[in-house]
Amino acid sequence: MIQKLLIINADDCNLTPKVTEAILSAHETGVVTSTTFMVNLPTAANIIKELVNAKKLGVGLHLNVTLGEPVAPKALVKNLIQKDGRFRKQADYLSRKFPPVTEIHAEFEAQLQRFIKLFKTRPTHVDVHHHMHDHLPFLEALFEVAKKHALPVRWTRLLSGPEIKDRFKAIRTTDHFYGNLDPRTYWTEEVLRHLLFTLPSGTSEVMCHPGWVDDELCAISSLTLPREKEFRLFGSRELRKYIATLGIKLVDFSCLSKKRQGVGPISRSCRRVSRK
């Protein structure tokens, strides 16, 4: 019988100190098994130490080209940045021509190298802030980085298409993915418990955004109060007990290192959320 392996990944680590603190707390008391770190934002040395000391927390790389400044030399990524030298916003990418894959790749590679310098190891996996790898140029750049460094990646809807899936067959990802990026919605206990009860066999990822809200967060993110609601849910000891009763094994992306390369049997990619 195929085992049910579940990765619960908290996005946006290092977005703000309060978000990072909430993620670490939700890992310690609850069910968060993995997080992805944003290396292009200001980073405190003590945060790196705390993440490294959280031995059971997988730490991946949250590649980011929509907030802050680039890691690569700006001359190499001129189509990713605005006149002020900061990254273009997500809406700007979607409303105008996408930047060349070579520039996206240069920034992704630079961020990966910074991660390795900070953590003295490679990330457990890579994903992209605002799920920009749902768009082909960003997936192409991500694929090159993941292939070069043998890293698993977060599933993207593009992999549902037979032609795309075959083209990127070397990508290692989960069999199933569940999450949502709409700031008006968030995980509720009812919806999450139903998903867990019906979780399919194989590897699954639940994407979440636990955090604590302060002025710093409100100034840079449209996702605010839902983060605190998700912190209370994913930081719950009771939820950990419920998962155990269902025979689900909590893991991080390192579980994919032993799987064969290739895309798993992705039968669905549910964006399961409830409105406030």
What pLDDT, in 10s, does the model give residues 188-227? Answer: 999 999 999 999 999 999 999 999 999 999 999 999 999 9
Q: How many other CB atoms are found less than 10 A from the CB of residue 270?
A: 15
Looking at residue 184, its pLDDT comes to 77
| Domain layout of the chain by residue ranges | 4-275
Closest among 193, 183, 179, 202 to 260, alpha carbons compared? 202
pLDDT at 236 over 60: yes
CA dihedral 10, 244, 173, 187 (to 10 degrees): -40
Rounded-to-integer distance, Cα 65 and Cα 138, Å: 10
pLDDT at 183 over 80: no
Percent of the chain beyond pLDDT 90?
84
Looking at residue 257, its pLDDT comes to 78
Rounded-to-integer distance, Cα 178 and Cα 195, Å: 9
Closest among 6, 9, 17 to 35, alpha carbons compared? 9
Instruction: Give the N- to C-terminal CA distance of the chain in Å, as an integer.
Output: 38
Rounded-to-integer distance, Cα 249 and Cα 97, Å: 43
Rounded-to-integer distance, Cα 159 and Cα 59, Å: 24
Closest among 27, 97, 263 to 167, alpha carbons compared? 263
Q: Greater confidence, 63 or 184?
A: 63
Looking at residue 166, its pLDDT comes to 86
Average pLDDT over residues 85-112: 97
pLDDT at 106 over 80: yes
Q: How many other CB atoms are found less than 10 A from the CB of residue 269?
A: 16
Looking at residue 276, its pLDDT comes to 28
Total H helices, total E strands in the chain: 10, 9
Lowest-confidence region among 207-211, 252-256, 262-266: 262-266
pLDDT, mean over the chain: 91
Please count the residues of the chain: 276
Looking at residue 1, its pLDDT comes to 60
CATH architecture of 4-275: Alpha-Beta Barrel (3.20)
Q: What is the per-residue pLDDT across 107-154, written as a single tens digit (0 to 9) for each?
A: 999 999 999 999 999 999 999 999 999 999 999 999 999 999 999 999
The DSSP output letter for 165 is H
Strand boundaries in 71-195, DSSP class E = 126-128, 176-178, 185-186
pLDDT at 75 over 90: yes
Q: Is 101 helix (H, G, I), strand (E, B) or coil?
A: helix
Identify the helix (H) or strand (E) that includes residue 275: strand 274-275
Looking at residue 70, its pLDDT comes to 98
The DSSP output letter for 87 is B
Looking at residue 42, its pLDDT comes to 95
Average pLDDT over residues 257-275: 40
Put simply, whether the predicted model's pTM sits higher than 0.85 gets the answer: yes
For 249, residues 6+ apart whose C-beta sits below 8 A from its C-beta are 3, 4, 5, 6
**Planar angle of CA 233, 36, 68, nearest 5 degrees:** 110
Q: What is the per-residue pLDDT across 156-182, written as a single tens digit (0 to 9) for each?
A: 999 888 888 888 988 899 999 999 877
